[in-house]
Amino acid sequence: MALKTYSGSCHCGAVRFEADIDLSAGSNRCNCSVCKKAQAWFLPVKPDHFRAIAGTDHLTEYQWTPDGKKEPFLHYRFCKTCGIRTAGYAGLGSTDGGFYFVSIASLDNVDRDDLMSMPIRYADGKHNRFDQAPADPQLL
């Protein structure tokens, strides 16, 4: 599969975006405290493949500082009106460029069969081992 442009939005439609995503590259699930509570399932997106279309003024942000970081690293953005998380970001402006993380649930035009065949990477964020799957990924 190759890059395809997907549109996404919050529930009330105030926040809208586009992202160029290769679903065959896979998605992420994590068991860190934030992802576990939100049942997060997301796609990493390079900064130049993400475009805000409308509603940036409707976004509010929760910043989280993971263990071992000196300042907030993860920025979870959600609509002030309906509360739905659409896309957040991490490390923008850093030497590696950072990334956006797009909530799969916020995508409007993704094919169900494509989602079902997409690989999922599990990360043991609870123990700061983002390069390893947790002992029991079924709990995610």
Asked if 17 and 76 touch (Cβ cutoff 8 Å), the reply is no
Look at residue 132 and tell me if it is in a domain. Answer: no
Domain containing 8: what range?
A: 4-125
Share of the chain above pLDDT 70, in %: 96
User: Tens of pLDDT along 32-44?
Assistant: 888 888 888 999 9
Asked if 28 and 42 touch (Cβ cutoff 8 Å), the reply is yes
User: Tens of pLDDT along 50-77?
Assistant: 999 999 999 999 998 877 778 888 899 9
How far lies 120's CA from each of 29, 38, 115, in Å?
7, 17, 10
What is the distance between the alpha carbons of residues 91 and 109, in angstroms, rounded to a whole number? Answer: 27
Q: Order of strands across the sheet with 50-54?
A: 4-9, 16-21, 50-54
From 25, 23, 29, 34, select the one nearest 123 (Cα to Cα).
Answer: 29
Residue 107 one-letter amino acid: L
Write the burial class of residue 140 (CB in 10 Å: 0-12 exposed, 13-18 middle, 19+ buried): middle
Count how many domains the chain has: 1
Look at residue 140 and tell me if it is in a domain. Answer: no
Look at residue 138 and tell me if it is in a domain. Answer: no
Rounded CA Rg of the chain: 15
